[in-house]
Amino acid sequence: MAVLQRKEVANYLREVGILPATEQAHVEQLTGGVSSAVYRVTWDATALVVKQALPKLQVSDEWTSRVERSATEARAARTLERLLPSGAILPPVYVDEPRCLFVMPSAPLAAETWKALLMRGELFSISAHAVGEMLGQLHARSRLEPGLAQEFADRQDFVALRVDPYLRVTAQRRPEIAGPLEKHTARMMSAHECLVHGDYSPKNLLVEPKRPAAMILLDHEVCHWGDPTFDLAFCLTHLHLKACTFPERTSDFLDLAQIFWTAYGAAAEPIHPAALELDTVGLLGCLLAARVDGKSPAEYLTTESLRQRVRRLADAILLEEPRTLHDVRDLTQAGAVV
């Protein structure tokens, strides 16, 4: 499969009947992701995005994944559009399975990732609530839709892009915590409860200016039927990483984590909330360790002292086995003043 180059995008859209033959389009390659080639194409009042899966991810480690995940992402977008509030998903307008790409509407140009806002210190409670509520809706509503368990039963891409590079590689590189990493991974992989996004991260949540409660969710290529705690822990990992990175705002980031958790619980109404929290805390420890020593380290952990701070927090969670996010908050705050 040939990867579409920027200079080829406009002609490709003409060939498939999306871009009128007489129109000239502006094509911009978007950055920030590592698993796909992504282009924004604009002409007149139209703005579209072309996304094509890459066979080799753009990271320093060797990391490959099947390009057929593009079809999964397009299918997941259509499903999520039914499950989530209007405007939360940008559904595909054209899918090219042989080329492993699809075309979707562009998000508003002024929209920013929640990650960008968080890194600037713009910590809005209403946004954290919206993120938790939307995830709770995704998990709860997917349980009620017949056929999704079968439609998203394939976990191959989730294993290739999350389980192996994050959890199993970290277990190999950190043998002192391999036991709990393997235990939590095995439990997660045994769960088959709801539709899991698999990349529920601040970088994949767009916020429009002056609408901090209106979220757009992106990047659905590892959607699968599985364990809800992965999505919860994945998002909480990012908030705890930032709590470690910005010690003067540690409490503020942890407040957002609690708002996110509370909003999720209200929307998802879990049957066994204590067990859900315990399992989420365990995976949180695993993913914190992975964002230092796995194949996808957080790019803003730029000093060894900061990486060590996150390692200490991850190790404390995995070895001391706190049961609640309140307990994790105590560990995080203690580490922030070391």
Structure tokens at 217: 């969710």
Q: How far apart are CA 248 and CA 276, in angstroms?
A: 30
Report all structural domains of the chain as residue ranges with CATH numbers, in order of start: 6-105 (3.30.200.20), 112-336 (3.90.1200.10)
The tens digit of pLDDT for each residue in 236-252 reads 999 999 999 999 999 99
- 88-100 mean pLDDT: 91
As to burial, measured by CB atoms within 10 angstroms (0-12 exposed, 13-18 middle, 19+ buried), residue 18 is middle
To 10 degrees, the CA torsion angle through 130, 134, 136, 142?
170
Q: How far apart are CA 310 and CA 294, in angstroms?
A: 13
pLDDT at residue number 61: 52
Q: How far apart are CA 146 and CA 324, in angstroms?
A: 33
Q: What is the pLDDT of residues 300-336, one digit of tens each?
A: 999 999 999 999 999 999 999 999 999 999 999 988 6
Question: Which residue is listed with tokens 């277990």?
Answer: 171
Nearest to 156 by CA among 148, 164, 144: 164
Token pair in block for residue 301: 């952990």
